[in-house]
Amino acid sequence: MSLTRLLAIQKGIKSCRDCPNMVGGPVHGAPVLSRVFLLGQAPGIHEEGRGKPFAHTAGKTLFKWFEETGGVDEEHFRAHVYMAAVARCFPGKAGSGDRLPDAKEIERCRRHLAQEVALLKPELILPVGKLAIAQVLGPDIYGSKAKLEDVIGKKFVAAFLEHEADVICLPHPSGLSAWPKIEPGKTLLRKALRMIVKHPAWIEEMG
């Protein structure tokens, strides 16, 4: 893995203006050469100004999950996990939540993801939320009728962007989602987090 190459990829992400309907500019995580790869949906309204993904309330919840389960705080997490997203720009609001990136926006952003995955060759991919899960697992495993309880708390082996890796899915930590707070989501989330912190790639990266 080459830090120089990763920085070049991130420079390309930062300069991308391919999606005219996106509201904000691109956001990416720290240039971490990690075998653990977290894939979110898209930045929220606050992330561009703070220059990092999961920088607001959903991030606080996400990092709380890992601190409570594995003793890993936000600073350590960001320093040892590569953080990417299906789309790198804030899509704008839609009703009470954020607009989902459309198919063209997702496809345009895949070229950035493909470069990152090809370079980092992650051993463990953590898709967060339904959109990211669908992108990683594909329609054969997570089709239009699939539910979170079908995939949370299980480990899959999937070929994502032509790279095979272990996949452990997480629900989105948005405050708008009740799923992680009620059963069966509450128990399945704990199970997924325990699986992550016991994975060899996680243990290796976290020291």
pLDDT tens column, 133-148:
999 999 999 998 999 9
For residue 154, give every residue at least 6 positions away whose Cβ sits within 8 Å of its Cβ, in sequence order, or none: 168, 169, 192
Contact 191, 153 (CB under 8 A): yes
Q: What is the pLDDT of residue 126?
A: 99
pLDDT tens track for 162-191: 999 999 999 999 988 899 999 999 999 999
Q: Coil, strand or helix: which one is 166?
A: strand
- Terminal alpha carbon distance of the chain: 19
- The domain ranges of the chain are 3-206
One-letter identity of residue 34: S
Asked if residue 120 lies in contact with residue 1, where contact means CB atoms within 8 angstroms, the answer is: yes
- CA pair distance 116, 88, nearest whole angstrom: 13
Reported pTM: 0.97
Decide the pairing of beta strands 124-127 and 163-168. parallel
| Residue 194 token pair | 């325990």
The CATH number for 3-206, chosen from 3.40.470.10, 3.30.460.10, 3.10.105.10, 3.40.640.10, is: 3.40.470.10
At 89-114, the pLDDT tens digits run: 999 998 888 999 999 999 999 999 99
Whether 152 contacts 192, CB under 8 Å: yes
9: left (phi over 0), alpha (psi -120 to 50) or beta: alpha
Tokens of 195: 């699986």
190 burial (CB, 10 Å; 0-12 / 13-18 / 19+) is: middle
Secondary structure class of 11 (helix, strand, coil) = helix
The pLDDT tens digits of the residues spanning 30-83 come to 999 999 999 999 999 999 999 999 999 999 999 999 999 999 999 999 999 999
Q: What is the largest CA-CA distance in the chain?
A: 45
